[in-house]
Amino acid sequence: MKFEKGIKMLVVSSYPPRECGLATFSNDIVNAVNNVFGDTLPIEVCALQNSEQHFDYNDEVNYILPVDSLEDYRLVAEKINERDDIALVCIQHEFGLFRGEYGDYILSFILALNKPIVTVFHTVLPNPDEKRKKVVHAIVDLSDKIIVLTNRSKEILTSYYDCPTSKTLVIPHGNHNVLWEQKELLKIKYGFEGKIVLATFGLISENKNIETVLYALPEIITEHPEVIYLVIGKTHPEVFKNEGEKYRDKLLNIVEKLQLEKNVIFINEYLELWQLLHYLTLSEIYLFSSKDPNQTVSGTFAYAMSCGCAVISTPIPHAIETLIDGNGMLLKNFDRTEEFQKAILYLIENKEVRIAMGKNAYVEAHATNWENIAIQYRLLFDQLTNREDDLRFNFPPIKLDHIEKLTTDFGILQFSKFSDPDPESGYTLDDNARALINMVLYYNYNKDDAALRLASIYLSFIEGIQQENGWFDNYKDFEHHLTDQNSEVNLEDANGRAIWSLGTVIGYKTILPQDLVNRAQNCWTKALCRIDDIKSPRAIAYALKGLYQYHNIYKDEHTRRHIENLADELLRHYNINSAENWCWYEDYMTYANNVLPEAMMYSYLVTKKLKYKKIAVITFDFLLSHYFMKGQLKVISNRGWFKKENERVFYGEQPIEVSTTIIALDLFYEVTRNTKYKDQLKLAFMWFLGNNHLKQIMYNPENGASYDGLEDKHVNINQGAESTLCFFKSRIIMEKYIYQKKKYTKILA
């Protein structure tokens, strides 16, 4: 058998096409690690199956462990021991998966292994008898690390099984990314328009206690006939083998007896993931009715929250820990129809509360999407295999999806509520100038005609907001009217960005349609008449970037003089504000700081005056010394600017600052060939991919957007134009740093 180079993780678990929750969980882990880390952390699977089962597995399954044979546990372990490239074994544990008393056959497997072992306990039961306690204690003792899915499970392991807290790590159940705005669209697609959809899903068994909900429905439907209840999932294979459809028939009889046939729909299938997510996304309320107080965690529960459902749940530990801060309703008891009835009616009759709960659940679930869970598994893998300095990530694909969605025929909208564009936010010159630059760079990268179509829209916006005297306004509302903001705030930065964008179009004239270039040239000519009105350092820097691009095409003395005059003005700011321990152009650092040294370097490239290059390098290195700490990028917070005389504020990091860091590092590496800039550039981009203080991704894998901010304890998952355009441009830049068709890069300590 041929294996790729590099060390691997082996997951021991039930696995698809076997139909069970743990098989789905393990498949999700494997897929997520592959998506986030690619071939830098290959995963193989050892699939568990009993003597009656036979499955055709995918290629990642390289071992099968027959759970009925005690001897096979040892034999499979010895085969794994022969593999030098398997560095860690991750066992997904449920008592019922393994044979013996309380599944103690697994101990034979663990004892025979000579690899580091991580065991994931999916069920942790309180008040164990002596035999169960001994089995769990032995597994804990023989494992290098224990993972549990809830804090309550960790408490039980400590209290009842004497498991050291230092050995136990909580990594929650993962969930999938969905787009919030799909909720209404999917209701229409599936024929539920105008309905209030309730849902339950999972492999059906008596423990689901679905009848508790069914008995609650008649009174609800009398008042609200628009209610539909979806019971999604086939009967659990083990239940079907032993009892057939006894429980489902019982539920069908209840539905008939209560005359609920028009309002209760059974979807008796093991759905593909995309179908399941569709049904959950179109549902308003998710009902979790399990009557097992020891059910530690539920994947169905996690998925429902990530799909923006308002959850009503019995008090299992997962629900107790999760349904806080208004993201669902936690019932006090198990098996109480009247509690479900009261809670369902409340959410049906209070639409705003229902929607707010769904949104809160959706936000809460972001931290535990599968990409973020994959990062937690990878960090643990690296810790146990002494590879902390070799963390690598996949580069996500470049996607135009969200940019196109934000763009109307008039321009790109400013903000989104989650991923849903917000027309009330209107349009800005800032964002349309950024978008125009991005589309020029994107077209240069792949010659996609969609980029030209979008570029024309953004240029039209710039043309339409330019005054006859050459100056630009910045703000227009959704009805295309100028807003009061234009007279209330300083518009110099916006004017500088406009000049930058127009210069970029002209600078790429050899690859762009002539009409687009001519339109940019007309705006440029008028704007250049106002160049002396630009005084603020950032506006000067943006203008210098545009002048540099223009000068690449038209190397005239007039443009060169403009560049030199503006560069001297930046130099004047530096001389006024710099000090022995403060090598900067202002007495504070705010946003987009990197454009200042970047503009100085561009000035050097045009004029060849070494004074510009010297100050560019001094100030950039000073900035970077405050940005890179302990193997991570930590940019200036939007909560408070970094002032010369004050302590720096942390957290509140935004993509614009990360992106401008990447853009400037790219330029400085190209000019100086100093590899430290290339290394820092790669490290900076990893901020988007999860190398940040929360260890969470800062982009939306579904649509290519970027989230708006990294706070101290959460990610702001709104996806506005500025953030998305900054991530998009950064991702284009990173293409040139992918060598030998590798889709990853390395984080350097």
pLDDT in tens, 116-142: 999 999 999 999 999 999 999 999 999
User: Looking at residue 649, what DSSP letter applies?
Assistant: P
**For residue 211, pLDDT beyond 90:** yes
Cβ–Cβ < 8 Å for 317, 153: yes
Residue corresponding to tokens 């494997």: 30
Q: How far apart are alpha carbons 83 and 644 in whole angstroms?
A: 56
For residue 600, what is the enclosing H or E element? helix 595-607
For residue 436, what is the enclosing H or E element? helix 429-446
For position 37, which CATH number holds?
3.40.50.2000
Q: Are 423 and 571 found together in one domain? A: yes
pLDDT in tens, 482-498: 999 999 999 999 999 99
Q: Are 293 and 229 found together in one domain? A: yes
Q: Are 524 and 646 found together in one domain? A: yes
Q: How far apart are alpha carbons 452 and 442 in whole angstroms?
A: 9
Phi, psi of 231 (to 5 degrees): -105, 105
Question: Residue 168: its pLDDT value, please?
Answer: 96
Quote the tokens at residue 598.
């970047």
Confidence of residue 518 (pLDDT cuts 50, 70, 90): very high
pLDDT in tens, 131-188: 999 999 999 999 999 999 999 999 999 999 999 999 999 999 999 999 999 999 999 9
Q: Which of 708, 494, 504 is nearest to 602 (CA)?
A: 504
Cβ–Cβ < 8 Å for 601, 660: no
Torsion of CA 416, 420, 425, 426, to 10 degrees: 120
Domain count, the chain: 3
Is residue 374 included in any domain, yes or no? no
Q: Are 417 and 554 found together in one domain? A: yes
Q: Please tell me whether residue 33 adopts helix, strand or coil conformation.
A: helix
Cβ–Cβ < 8 Å for 22, 13: yes
Q: Is 0.85 surpassed by the pTM of this model?
A: yes
Is residue 390 included in any domain, yes or no? no
**For residue 4, pLDDT beyond 50:** no
For residue 21, what is the enclosing H or E element? helix 21-37
**For residue 589, pLDDT beyond 80:** yes
Amino acid at 150: T
Structural domain that includes position 501: 401-746
Q: How far apart are alpha carbons 739 and 438 in whole angstroms?
A: 23
Question: Residue 404: its pLDDT value, please?
Answer: 98
Amino acid at 744: Y
Residue corresponding to tokens 């393994």: 98
Quote the tokens at residue 704.
């290519």
Quote the tokens at residue 656.
């614009």
Cβ–Cβ < 8 Å for 348, 224: yes
Is residue 386 included in any domain, yes or no? no
Quote the tokens at residue 347.
């959410």
pLDDT in tens, 653-678: 999 999 999 999 999 999 999 999 99
Q: How far apart are alpha carbons 228 and 631 in whole angstroms?
A: 51
No. of helices (H) and no. of strands (E), the chain: 29, 24
Q: Are 627 and 711 found together in one domain? A: yes
Q: How far apart are alpha carbons 727 and 720 in whole angstroms?
A: 11
For residue 424, what is the enclosing H or E element? strand 420-428
Q: Are 97 and 140 found together in one domain? A: yes
Q: How far apart are alpha carbons 548 and 543 in whole angstroms?
A: 9
Interval 204-222 mean pLDDT: 94
Q: Are 361 and 406 found together in one domain? A: no
Q: Are 125 and 197 found together in one domain? A: no
Question: Residue 6: its pLDDT value, please?
Answer: 66
Is residue 383 included in any domain, yes or no? no
Quote the tokens at residue 332.
């006090």
Q: Are 465 and 539 found together in one domain? A: yes
Cβ–Cβ < 8 Å for 326, 382: no
SS (H, E, C) 143-212: CCEEEECCHHHHHHHHHHHCCCHHHEEECCCCECCCCCCHHHHHHHHCCCCCCEEEEEECCECHHHCCHH
Phi, psi of 170 (to 5 degrees): -90, 115
Mean pLDDT for all residues in the chain:
93
Domain boundary among 170, 193, 219: 170
Cβ–Cβ < 8 Å for 316, 298: yes
pLDDT in tens, 381-396: 999 998 866 678 889 9
Q: Residue 67: which residues within 8 A CB-CB, separation 6 or more?
A: 48, 49, 50, 97, 98, 99, 105
Cβ–Cβ < 8 Å for 128, 138: no
Domain boundary among 146, 170, 194: 170
Amino acid at 399: K
Residues facing 496 on adjacent strands:
none
Q: Which of 622, 619, 625 is nearest to 599 (CA)?
A: 619
Q: What percent of the chain has pLDDT over 90?
A: 83
Q: Which of 391, 376, 397 is nearest to 41 (CA)?
A: 391
pLDDT in tens, 308-345: 999 999 998 888 888 887 889 999 999 899 999 999 99
Amino acid at 158: T
Question: Residue 389: its pLDDT value, please?
Answer: 64
For residue 413, what is the enclosing H or E element? strand 413-417
Is residue 393 included in any domain, yes or no? no
**Per-residue DSSP letters for 197-257?**
EEEEESSB-GGG-THHHHTTHHHHHHH-TTEEEEEE-PBPHHHHHHHTTHHHHHHHHHHHH
pLDDT in tens, 446-474: 999 999 999 999 999 999 999 999 999 99
Confidence of residue 745 (pLDDT cuts 50, 70, 90): very low
Confidence of residue 2 (pLDDT cuts 50, 70, 90): very low
Q: Are 411 and 444 found together in one domain? A: yes
For position 696, which CATH number holds?
1.50.10.10
Q: How far apart are alpha carbons 595 and 545 in whole angstroms?
A: 9
pLDDT in tens, 258-303: 999 999 999 998 888 899 999 999 999 999 998 888 777 788 889 9
Q: Are 112 and 188 found together in one domain? A: no
Question: Residue 31: its pLDDT value, please?
Answer: 96
Question: Residue 743: its pLDDT value, please?
Answer: 40
Q: Are 358 and 279 found together in one domain? A: yes
Question: Residue 742: its pLDDT value, please?
Answer: 43
Angstrom distances, CA of residue 583 to CA of 565, 615, 644:
21, 9, 10
Cβ–Cβ < 8 Å for 216, 260: no
Interval 597-609 mean pLDDT: 98
Domain boundary among 170, 203, 226: 170
Residue corresponding to tokens 């590879």: 387
Is residue 376 included in any domain, yes or no? no
Stretch among 419-428, 589-598, 650-659, 738-747 having the lowest mean pLDDT? 738-747
**For residue 619, pLDDT beyond 90:** yes
Question: Residue 391: its pLDDT value, please?
Answer: 74
Question: Residue 317: its pLDDT value, please?
Answer: 84
Cβ–Cβ < 8 Å for 698, 692: yes
Q: Which of 635, 619, 617 is nearest to 627 (CA)?
A: 635
Question: Residue 324: its pLDDT value, please?
Answer: 83
Residue corresponding to tokens 């008592």: 95
Cβ–Cβ < 8 Å for 89, 117: yes
Cis amide bond preceding 17, omega within 30: yes
Straight-line distance from the first to the last Cα atom of the chain, in angstroms, rounded to the nearest whole number? 35
Q: How far apart are alpha carbons 187 and 185 in whole angstroms?
A: 5
SS (H, E, C) 346-407: HHHHCHHHHHHHHHHHHHHHHCCEHHHHHHHHHHHHHHHCCCHHHCEEECCCCCCHHHHHHE
Question: Residue 630: its pLDDT value, please?
Answer: 80
* Other Cβ atoms closer than 10 A to 264: 23
Quote the tokens at residue 34.
């592959």
Is residue 381 included in any domain, yes or no? no
Cis amide bond preceding 537, omega within 30: no
**For residue 646, pLDDT beyond 80:** no
Is residue 146 included in any domain, yes or no? yes
**For residue 748, pLDDT beyond 60:** no
Question: Residue 741: its pLDDT value, please?
Answer: 40
**b vs e for 658-678, b when ≥16 Cβ sit within 10 Å of the residue's Cβ?**
bbbbbbbbbbbbebeeeeebb
Q: What percent of the chain has pLDDT over 70?
A: 97
Question: Residue 588: its pLDDT value, please?
Answer: 86
Torsion of CA 539, 540, 545, 546, to 10 degrees: 80
Q: How far apart are alpha carbons 175 and 513 in whole angstroms?
A: 45
